[in-house]
Chain A
Amino acid sequence: MTTITIPAPVIEDAPAVRARPASPVRDVASIAGRALRAVPRELESVIPPIFIALFFFIVNIGTLQHITENNIKSFDIKAFMLPTAILIGVTGVSRAGSLVLDIQDGYLDRLLLTPVRRLAILVGHMVADVAIACMLTIPILVLAVIIGVHIEAGIVGAVAFVLIAALWSLAFAGFGYAIALKTGNPAAVNSAFLLFFPFLFMTSSYVPRGQLSGWLDTIAAWNPVTYLLEGLRSLVTTGWQWDSLLKAVLAIAGVGVLSMSLCLAALRGRTRRG
């Protein structure tokens, strides 16, 4: 075999660096920063949710405006449909698919070889998810205002609306992360989307709760998304209704506790060294 000698660059006498554990905040910010930097290169994961949300928003208004506004007194279909459209957009948006790729590419091992806190790997991705969910919500909200939706709770209410939607996105994303960490399989992660249908459609997403038939109303009563929708709608249609908002936050917390418990168990399993 031919031996090739390559002139070696001189390593200068710079002082040696000293590795040390970074702060928890820096760990999370580093992982979140990487996840957010990837977004412009993966617009295919951001554009479709916005498109789908806008599509359903516009089509549902066109389909249901006459039948609802003519039959339900002082009903505003645009204001009613806005939270539904937003939830359709942000539910299931997460970096769980990227985490699967990290597992498959071995990059998760590279992260685990560093002193980064294991939890920070997960939280960093989720922080990025919240930011992305906010970015998805804002254009839909702006469009709604343009077509005549008036947000009764004002600017601060609009901010609260965006944050609540983003928190819901995060709570739901926990299921995707749990599946990603448990299986390392992209197809399995996509199957988390199946949860989307009962959550989003067996509730008051298209008509007010009082218009639902018996069995669906019963299911809707147990569906946390019902209370989430009612909380968001209250910000748009009536202003600050604290009991509705509290129920919405509790609904998110309930789903979040379940999804994050699954997620943390999967993280422990994935990073277990035994």
Chain B
Amino acid sequence: MNPTETSIRAEGLVRRFNGTTAVDDLDLDIPRGEIYGFLGPNGAGKSTTVRVLCTLLTPSAGRAVVAGHDVADEPEKVRLRIGVALQEAALDPKQTGVQLLRLQGRLYGLSTSEIERRLYDLARLIDIGDALDRPIATYSGGMKRRLDVAAALVHDPEVLFLDEPTTGLDPVSRARMWEEVRRLNRELNMTIFLTTQYLEEADELADRVGIINDGRLVAEGTPAALKRSVGNDVIVARLEGRASGAAREEVERVGGVHGVEVHGEEMVITATDGAATIGAVAVALDGVGTVRHLTLRTPTLDDVFLELTGNRIENESERAQHSDYNELVEVGQ
């Protein structure tokens, strides 16, 4: 493999734990300089994949090559070329930020002058001011996350693994992290493998997205292409009570409707031209029940996941949080 072309390649990668298959026959081919979003719900196998790719675990079957080296046969060479920020910020609360970064630099074999230069760069990158000289125990969650990313960057890695880097962060810290990820990729051409359970994050950051469910890659492509695969627009109808089979049949008969998925009180309707179809859908539903809300929006990656697996990634609260981001029209009934 030419490391200048492919940063991460997995072929039939499998990882089992005591008979449970956490990662199942995973194939990946991620070119250098790409931000790859690895999207899936909790327990889908995202973190296990990262731990295999970053040499903390060996594959049970298949192989993975990262930055030109096999993770099972040459883990030491892989470690020199990757940076990793795991799901939980892996920091020593008793050290100061500066001490932690200096120690990282020493363990990567950097000279004193190289370490000081990287400290200067990283201090400005993570922008936590004088706090770098304070014990990490005094940091906020966002500061710890940023320091964790800085620790992963001390040695200027070719490939950066970020395992759910914004989980638990407030919106401001999340936006800041996104900006840093974009900049690292843009200015340093760093390949970034980003796992997330936030659809918006994958949509905003990733050049390509891989969707994982139950350890298997169920879809892969650019966010736009994945969303296009669902249909052009999505109409979401919230009904009074559970949607009946009759309601579904009525909607399916409406011209321009691609598909209908029913989940309790919610009916998700994909349509070629949502604006032209929503009126007809409202009329169709009016004859079979009471509609509380009718929403027209563009498809999200959650719709892709729903179509592929029959389940949603996001929970209700996250949907409510993100709803204003995606909605185009909302009609109260």
Contacts and interface: CB of A to CB of B under 8 A. Distances in A.
A19 B81 contact: yes
B330 interface: no
Given A6-B175, A19-B109, A22-B108, A113 B188 contact: no
A37 interface: yes
Interface in A252-274: 273-274
Contacts of B216: none
Interface in B31-75: 54-58, 75
Contacts of B125: 9, 11
Q: How large is the interface on B (under 10, 10 to 19, 20 to 34, 35 or more residues)?
A: 35 or more
Contacts of B86: 106, 109-110
Contacts of B104: 110, 114
Interface stretch (B248-256, B280-288, B321-329): B321-329
B124 A34 contact: no
B30 to A, nearest CB: 19
Contacts, number: 124
Given A17-B110, A114-B107, A1 B56 contact: no
Query: Which among B92, B95, B200 has the greatest number of chain A C-beta atoms within 10 A?
Result: B92
A113 B94 contact: no
B242 interface: no
Contact of A4 (B106, B121, B176): B176
How many A residues are at the interface, by size bracket?
Answer: 35 or more
Given A8-B183, A114-B79, A2 B171 contact: yes
Contact of A14 (B107, B121, B135, B183): B121
From A27, A38, A41, A116, residue with most partner B Cβ within 10 Å: A116
A115 B176 contact: no
A30 interface: yes
A56 B142 CA distance: 48
A5 interface: yes
Contact of A113 (B55, B99, B179, B183): B55
A14 B90 contact: no
Interface string B198-230: 001000000000000000000000000000000
Contacts of B118: 17
A205 to B, nearest CB: 35
B114 A17 contact: yes
A115 B79 contact: yes
Contacts of B109: 19-22, 26, 115
Interface string A46-68: 00000000000000000000000
A34 B103 contact: yes
Contact of B107 (A1, A27, A41): A27
B156 A16 contact: yes
Contacts of B175: 2-6
A22 B154 CA distance: 15
B80 interface: yes
B84 interface: yes
Chain A binding surface SS class: loop
B263 interface: no
A14 B125 CA distance: 14
B155 interface: yes
B234 interface: no
Nearest to A42: B94
A105 interface: yes
B110 A113 contact: no
Given A17-B118, A22-B107, A114-B108, A11 B322 contact: no
A222 interface: no
B143 interface: no
A120 to B, nearest CB: 9
Interface string B79-118: 1111010101111111100010001101111100010011
Interface of B: 54-58, 75-76, 79-82, 84, 86, 88-95, 99, 103-104, 106-110, 114, 117-118, 121, 124-125, 127, 135, 151, 155-157, 171-172, 175-176, 179-180, 183, 187-188, 200, 321-322, 324-325
Given A1-B322, A37-B95, 5 more contacts: A12-B121, A19-B81, A19-B110, A116-B107, A273-B58
6 cross-chain pairs, A with B, having the tightest CB-CB distances, nearest first: A106-B90, A19-B155, A110-B90, A20-B109, A114-B107, A19-B108
19 contacts: A4-B172, A4-B176, A8-B183, A14-B121, A17-B114, A17-B118, A19-B108, A21-B76, A22-B106, A22-B107, A26-B109, A38-B94, A38-B95, A105-B90, A106-B89, A106-B90, A110-B86, A115-B76, A115-B107
